[in-house]
Amino acid sequence: EGAAHGAACGGEDDPHALDMDHIHVPFPSFLLAYYLLVPNATCLWMGASLKLALRERLQRAGVLTVKPCDYPHTVAKLCLDGMEVINFQRMMCGEGDRRLAAFQWQDIAYIRMDATVGKVASFRVLVDVETRRMVEATVDGSVVSAKKALILLWFNTVFGTHVKIHAMANWGIAHHAEDLEVKWMQICTVMYNFFGFTTFSRTITEFWFKTGLTLRCYSNVKLASAHSASTGVPFHGNLRQLSEYSTLVNFMLKVRRKFLAEFARHQADFAGADAEGMFVGTVCHSLDHCMMDENLEDPLWLDVDDAEFGAMAELMRHVRVGFVPDLPGLVFNHRFKLMDHAFYRNVYNYAMSVNPWLADRMDAAIVK
């Protein structure tokens, strides 16, 4: 068998001892996934990194003018309309009866200037939900600008919260699925967790460094991913308070109910899968990518000249262009709207009634 290490899916191991790519995949499936996913992924990240490097050089030469960034608004979008929203703490009343949403992160990883992994004890952001602008941000008690906050927030979006999504997706694997379409979706998810957790930090970061695309080797980022996965998911049962201010939250709350109801009806076809894990690994994962793409329009907005977070900004520029968009040229269906199984069709049809734009971007597997 190929892939990952550790016990087979459904074993008796202590879950706290399992890393993100512990699930075994039969070798034929392992090989097929390599042929159908890796060329597409490589084409995306390699081409995007080369284009980014060219844009960086043109910008430094004064030839390229970058669209100005409204940093307070961009930070607010990442907080309200992305999976970072699960770090919402409470609503507050600001000056002039402004409605403020407080977001709080504790014990999160970041990349130091020497490319080692450090820890931030407390990161806090206040957002005016009516103007959709950041009001204040603090890192370990010190006030920081929206420009600086964006770097840490974007890093945690990917290597903090998004990593938790990948980790939870393992519990949504239907490892006894008989339907070929369902089985292939499960294999894609397992393999992409392997690619992201092991291959990215071991191979791609070293390629960037050795080819001069980055000034530092960021292979230590795997430690940040592991730290994030180990800290668990924060309480977010109060997200309904944001439903009128966040299109994503409103959509997720409604679609989740339908997803769980349909899963209960079709549970026999997804033997071994946890419903919440599957929801996170499909709907939440794909829409997190979708909103990352929407919320950070230009990677050059990440300030590589920041004295404390500049290295982190350099890494995250490449991640933004090479690992957020959809893979080009996939030869198989992966959207909910294209699946044949009644479970996917029923969830999609309901989601269309809530928000067609988001519904069309729901993936049935992790394929990016």
67-104 per-position pLDDT tens digit: 999 999 999 999 999 999 999 999 998 787 889 999 99
Q: What is the pLDDT of residue 20?
A: 64
pLDDT in tens, 243-300: 999 999 999 999 999 999 999 999 999 999 999 999 999 999 999 999 999 999 999 9
Q: What is the pLDDT of residue 12?
A: 39
* Residues 127, 151 contacting (CB under 8 angstroms): no
* Residues 280, 168 contacting (CB under 8 angstroms): yes
pLDDT of 157 higher than 90: yes
pLDDT range class, residue 363, cuts 50, 70, 90: very high
Q: What's the mean pLDDT when you consider all of the chain?
A: 92
pLDDT in tens, 210-221: 999 999 999 999
Number of neighbours of residue 8 by Cβ within 10 angstroms: 13
The mean pLDDT value for 309-333 works out to 97
How do the residues of the chain divide into helix, strand and coil, expressed in percent and rounded to 5? 55, 10, 30
Task: Work out the percent of the chain whose per-residue pLDDT is above 70.
Answer: 94
- Tokens representing 189 are 């998810």
Task: Work out the percent of the chain whose per-residue pLDDT is above 90.
Answer: 82
Write the burial class of residue 306 (CB in 10 Å: 0-12 exposed, 13-18 middle, 19+ buried): buried
pLDDT range class, residue 201, cuts 50, 70, 90: confident
Q: What is the pLDDT of residue 21?
A: 67
Q: Edge-to-edge strand order for the sheet containing 133-139?
A: 88-93, 99-111, 117-128, 133-139, 142-144
pLDDT range class, residue 4, cuts 50, 70, 90: very low
Q: What is the pLDDT of residue 1?
A: 38
pLDDT in tens, 29-53: 999 999 999 999 999 999 999 999 9
The mean pLDDT value for 206-234 works out to 93
Q: What is the pLDDT of residue 16?
A: 52
Q: Is-above-0.85 flag for pTM?
A: yes
Q: What is the pLDDT of residue 161?
A: 96
CA dist 172 and 334 (Å) reads 16
Looking at per-residue confidence, does 220 or 175 come out higher? 220
pLDDT in tens, 5-26: 333 333 334 445 556 667 888 8
Looking at per-residue confidence, does 22 or 184 come out higher? 184
Q: What is the pLDDT of residue 177?
A: 85
pLDDT range class, residue 355, cuts 50, 70, 90: very high
In 3D, which of 49, 364, 18 has the Cα closest to residue 205?
A: 49
In 3D, which of 71, 103, 96, 138 has the Cα closest to residue 245?
A: 103
Write the burial class of residue 72 (CB in 10 Å: 0-12 exposed, 13-18 middle, 19+ buried): buried
